[in-house]
Structure 1
Amino acid sequence: MGTQFLTDENGNKTAVLLPIKKYNKLIEHLEDLEDVKLYDEAKKNDDGYRISLEDAFKIIEEKRKISK
């Protein structure tokens, strides 16, 4: 089964029907593209500032104590 189209009364394509394998592959590609987009955005906004993992956990724990 290939891709099928639903049409209106004038023959204009209004929707697409695809096999689930094709749909899942399409979703997978879209998710990959979104990952690339997020990476590019993060890289563009990178100011070079880094903290250690231990310091990050300390900050998180301090914020949790304050919010309680």
Structure 2
Amino acid sequence: MNENTVKGPASYFPSIEKKYGRQISEWKALVLEAMPARHMELVTMLKEKHGMGHGHANAIVAHTLAEENS
């Protein structure tokens, strides 16, 4: 693995954008609009309202919450 390899939740972003047809910034905005909520509530929202898979939803929520808490 080289030093430019994306790791963690962001490594899912290219496939999320391709599969669901929205930019990551749009998904993050949806998460932020749903706050305050717990992590798994946000994951469930993305899954139920937007048909997102668990891993993809979890990656977006984890990344968004980490940015908000940094």
Question: TM-score scaled by structure 2?
Answer: 0.29
| Greater relative contact order (CA < 8 Å, ≥ 6 in sequence) | 2
- Of Structure 1 and Structure 2, which has the larger fraction of its residues in strand? 1
- Larger radius of gyration, structure 1 or 2? 1
- Of Structure 1 and Structure 2, which has the larger fraction of its residues in helix? 2
